[in-house]
Structure 1
């Protein structure tokens, strides 16, 4: 989404300051958390909060690398923990100055620049009307019926796509490229971001899609159906922690810092479960909706440390490209 002239750091003389937040496109629509976050923050900041929706978290990194110090973003929201070293390497981010003690992230999280706002576990969501015997392991998915297609996201532009690349590497190690080659027979399409893949799934064009363990909660709560479920994998599920950071070049540094701190308040965190359909980064002040109790509860969180990802991402992406013949 291109920024218009109206997206300049300051509105016209006498107007409120504009805080521009780069995020992923599913955060911005009416059914996402963006509008409610905007209302809640504007009620206390004396500013205008403006979201710029990009395809996905990796696309935010790519956009910031392209724009460099000319970026009009004050805050980038929707990054993931495994990309922290690469975001820091840009030199574009400033310390958050936010107290992270309220966090309740599995395995913990500590960083002086980036602030988590939610977390999820990657999962393959399936349509129970089409898939009668869902895979119970990653290996069953990889070696399953080639006629039963799946949709995944591109690791070069998408955070769930990158997460799945790391999930495969965490489980298969040096055999990952061979396993990708086997899985490629089942892949109907690789989309730039989550929204496109999930849209194909809900339209019935593909029976299985790479998403999150929390995705079925949306269908239960908003649509009143348990038709869509997440498959539980015996090898474990990859943990994805979503973060935000403030840009060093922001013309509103105090306001940007204030927004990062706001993310850990109940006013923001309560919007996550049924807005972003993820798990809040802090301990919920109130119990989560009952639908969340029916979700897959991973007992084996999988992760690869961020420094290893930074060193190997290009190599592992090349393996993926070779295996899929791209």
Structure 2
């Protein structure tokens, strides 16, 4: 899943080529262990937005003797597709980054083996979406509409509060969204509209959005940095599909520094995303893979997640950074949907959305 740009502490080795056999790989060595020095190694397959502090990874390697390599393979959908294609002969040992929108695709293909981490007891039941423990919840966040506070204040236009509000004439040409076929937040926003308006009403809602001038782009970065007026690049859309944590990221990365975020969150628009890790079936490093899954739920990693990947830690009692509690949002009652329902209808919904909005 795409998030506000984070500053990864580790350095990735440049890609050579990723061919269909996946013989060539992008490898990032995340610990302080020199190449060849560690006898035990585990490979983490993940999305391109993965980031943890170098010191946190160093601690894992020092305590376990296990060298961690990270293999980024695109977005959440792409890493699941690769796992399905290489089922039984995986390119790594642990996959991190499959979310509830793509979970059933992975589970139905049996790409994970079962493992119940002892640390999962600290995770709320609402985030444990697989009772068979093939995947472990690591973090969560809300995909929401963000708004440019100054834009609305200067024009004395009230900020929209509901999805239906976005179809009103006063918000014409103000919203930019992502294509759900190419974007994780775009898909999450589509799911929010299905959850709100139901199978008989969501397409009609999108017709109203289209008539009201909604802009559609391929991905999150284009929407947020190029089109959004609060993204810093001169965009003219004061409403964008992004994350409830985007306001905190705007403060963290502000130059010059600021104390209050210029971005707000429309909490009545949010869809809850949960990210999971799972041990890939066929791994030759099962013991090391289990240690890595446990580590992802450790206090050190959970506390590192908010300012590295701008997500909320799955373990309930994890303390949050002050800048996060002051500026990031969570929805009190976000839209949700079972992975089974998403898996059964996701592709059909995307096809219907394309026919409604883009054609």
- Which category describes the TM-score, using the shorter chain as reference length? 0.7 to 0.9
Partner of 2:216: 189
Pairwise CA distance, 1:285: 4.1
Q: 1:207 aligns to what?
A: 238
Q: Give the Cα–Cα distance (whole angstroms) in 2 for the partners of residues 196 and 50 of structure 1.
A: 29
Aligned to 2:284: 251
Aligned counterpart, 2:124? 104
- The equivalent residue for 1:125 is 146
| Matching residue of 1:73 | 92
Give the stretch that moved more between structures: 240-249 or 178-187: 178-187
Cα distance in 1 for partners of 2:67, 2:221 equals 26
Cα–Cα, structure 1 residues 113 and 188, in superposed 2: closer, same or farther, change >3 Å?
A: same
- What's 2:316 paired with? 283
Query: 2:183 maps to which residue?
Result: 158
| Alpha-carbon displacement from aligned partner over 1:123-155 (angstroms, at most 9, x marks no partner) | 111222334432211111244533224132x33
Change (3 A) 1:314 1:155: same
Aligned residue in 1 for 2:104:
85
| SS of equivalent to 2:308 | coil
Q: 1:181: how far off?
A: 2.4
8 Å Cα contact 2:192-2:271 kept in structure 1? yes
Instruction: Specify the alignment match of 1:176 in structure 2.
Output: 202
Contact kept? 2:176, 2:223, Cα under 8 Å:
no
Moved more, 165-174 or 75-84: 75-84
Distance 1:285 1:179, change over 3 A: closer
**Structure-2 residue corresponding to 1:20:** 43
- 180 and 127 in structure 1: CA distance in 2 versus 1, 3 angstrom threshold: same
Deviations 1:156-210 (A, max 9, x none): 3433222112101000112111212222353433224x34433334223343321
Inter-CA distance 73–158: structure 2 relative to 1 (3 Å threshold): farther
Query: What is the aligned residue count?
Result: 317
Using the TM superposition, give the Cα deviation of residue 72 of structure 1 relative to its aligned residue in structure 2, in angstroms. Answer: 0.8
Could you tell me which residue of structure 1 aligns to residue 301 of structure 2?
268
**Aligned residue number for residue 147 of structure 1:** 173
**For 2:305 and 2:186, how far apart are their aligned partners in 1?**
21
Aligned partner of residue 229 in structure 1, secondary structure: strand
In the alignment, the residues of structure 1 paired with residue 75 and residue 213 of structure 2 have an alpha-carbon distance, to the nearest angstrom, of: 23
The change in CA–CA distance for 1:293 and 1:7 in structure 2 (over 3 A counts) is closer
What is the Cα-based RMSD across aligned positions, in Å? 2.9
Q: CA deviation at 1:246?
A: 1.2
Q: In the alignment, what sits opposite 2:113?
A: 94
Task: List alignment gaps of at least 5 residues for structure 1.
Answer: none
Contact 1:42 1:49 in 2 (8 A): yes
List per-residue Cα deviations over 1:103-125 (Å, max 9, x = no partner). 03656545311111111122111
Unaligned runs of 5+ in 2: 1-14, 29-33
The secondary structure found in structure 1 opposite 2:134 is coil
How far has the Cα of 1:22 moved from its partner? 2.1
Task: Please give the alpha-carbon distance, in whole angstroms, between the structure 1 residues aligned to 2:55 and 2:305.
Answer: 10
Is the aligned partner of 1:298 residue 2:321?
no
Q: Deviations over 1:289-315 (max 9, x none)?
A: 254244444221221111111111122
